[in-house]
Amino acid sequence: MRIVCLGLGNRGKQWVRWAEQAGADVVGVVDLHRPTLDAVGGELGIPSERRFTSLAEAITATEAPAVVACAPNAAHAAIINDCLELGVHVLIEQPFTEDLATAIELTRRAEEAGVHVVIAQQYRYGATFRHMAHLVQSRLGRITGGSVEFYRWRPSVGLKLPILLNQGVHQFDCLRYVLGEDPESCAAELWNPDWNDCDGPTVAEAIFRFPSGARVHYSGNYAAKGKVTSFDGVWRFEGENGQVTYDGVERVVLSEGSEESDVFVEPSGRGRATAQVDLCKDFLKALAGGPPPPTRAQDNLKTLAMVFAIEMSSRLRREVSLDEVLA
């Protein structure tokens, strides 16, 4: 499958390699900054005639049917819009967009045009999350509740809803995946500590209520000053038959009573890169007529809605339903 890769920053450069590992033929690269385009294009072995500063120019020249895009959050909506106007499929990094109304409209247009818009929510492709989902759904029975804790410090100048759109959105997508259901309501608070000079909000505390009756507490913090968690965060689920925990690094444990009855340690070498490659493979399969990827726009709206459920609940100071957020 011929594709064009847009965005050649440090992470964008990795996406070129991940796409190639997935089996894509990268026939062009795009970056608005000519020095970066030439430097990284040369490093990746992309001939000068296949380096472009315009997406439209790249698609016209290569006739590629698909784009893999890595760009700042604020540019996502414009890039997806350009792809829809050009009639090409797109795999773009999370978050889908910075506002829900735009995402809903782009999804509608993509459905009408028959174009795949896929969001790079690669966390759910990791071996640890797959194993955790299996245990939670097959061994715990009725879920009482759980928690996801994420604590790090990150500069967030110029970012919109930084703790939610940059990090929480990954954990929300995995929460839906692990439980196998979507939340029906959220009660939350969102703020920036008065001593923190980064753009906020950088702290979120939320409780999501699920149709099964489970309540899951999300605690996210981009202003942590002590020990930090991994980017996955630390996870715990309680059910009628036991407990499942994930240390955020590699170890998933099922405990039934006081005994650890199942311990999964992610094999060495199974890291983030493999998750991105697997996601790219699903994208390419869809373009070849296979099933739509699980993180397609139509599904990812539910993940993005969790972000804005927290924002709405905090702003209105009350519990909100996900249907209300998506209305």
Kindly state whether residues 254 and 221 are assigned to the same domain.
Answer: yes
Kindly state whether residues 161 and 310 are assigned to the same domain.
Answer: yes
Kindly state whether residues 229 and 308 are assigned to the same domain.
Answer: yes
pLDDT at 180 over 90: yes
pLDDT at 269 over 60: no
pLDDT at 112 over 80: yes
Query: Is 151 contained in some domain?
Result: yes
Angle at 266 between CA 265 and CA 267, to 5 degrees: 110
Kindly state whether residues 34 and 150 are assigned to the same domain.
Answer: no
Kindly state whether residues 203 and 321 are assigned to the same domain.
Answer: yes
Kindly state whether residues 132 and 63 are assigned to the same domain.
Answer: no
| pLDDT at position 15 | 97
The enclosing domain of 105 has a CATH number of 3.40.50.720
Kindly state whether residues 89 and 164 are assigned to the same domain.
Answer: no
Domain that holds residue 26: 2-123+274-294
Query: Is 205 contained in some domain?
Result: yes
User: pLDDT class for 273, splitting at 50, 70, 90?
Assistant: low
pLDDT in tens, 292-309: 999 999 999 999 999 999
| pLDDT at position 271 | 52
| pLDDT at position 165 | 97
Q: Which residues contact 273 (CB under 8 A, 6 or more apart)?
A: 14, 18, 21
Looking at every residue in the chain, the average pLDDT score rounds to 96
Kindly state whether residues 142 and 260 are assigned to the same domain.
Answer: yes
pLDDT at 76 over 90: yes
AA identity, residue 313: S
The enclosing domain of 183 has a CATH number of 3.30.360.10
Given a contact cutoff of 8 angstroms between Cβ atoms, the answer to whether 85 and 276 are in contact is no
For residue 122 the two structure tokens come to 């690669």
For residue 201 the two structure tokens come to 């909000």
Report residue 50 CA to chain centroid gap. Answer: 29
pLDDT at 98 over 60: yes
Quick one: 193 exposed, middle or buried, by C-beta within 10 A (0-12, 13-18, 19+)?
middle
% of the chain exceeding 70 in pLDDT: 98
263-271 average pLDDT score = 73
| pLDDT at position 161 | 97
Kindly state whether residues 160 and 264 are assigned to the same domain.
Answer: yes
pLDDT at 127 over 80: yes
Given a contact cutoff of 8 angstroms between Cβ atoms, the answer to whether 306 and 170 are in contact is no
User: pLDDT class for 5, splitting at 50, 70, 90?
Assistant: very high
Crossing angle between the packed helical segments 10-21 and 34-44, to the nearest 10 degrees: 40
Kindly state whether residues 172 and 315 are assigned to the same domain.
Answer: yes
| pLDDT at position 266 | 84
Count of structural domains, the chain: 2
| pLDDT at position 258 | 83
pLDDT at 259 over 90: no
AA identity, residue 36: T
% of the chain exceeding 90 in pLDDT: 94
The helices-and-strands tally (H runs, E runs) of the chain is: 11, 15
Quick one: 323 exposed, middle or buried, by C-beta within 10 A (0-12, 13-18, 19+)?
exposed
| pLDDT at position 70 | 98
Query: Is 299 contained in some domain?
Result: no
pTM of the prediction? 0.95
pLDDT at 220 over 90: yes
Q: 3-class SS at 138?
A: helix
Query: Is 247 contained in some domain?
Result: yes
Handedness of CA 222, 189, 95, 272 (dihedral sign): positive
How many angstroms separate the Cα of 267 from the Cα of each of 221, 246, 282? Answer: 29, 15, 22
CA 301, CA 304: separation in Å to the nearest integer?
A: 5
Kindly state whether residues 249 and 285 are assigned to the same domain.
Answer: no
pLDDT in tens, 13-71: 999 999 999 999 999 999 999 999 999 999 999 999 999 999 999 999 999 999 999 99
Kindly state whether residues 84 and 210 are assigned to the same domain.
Answer: no
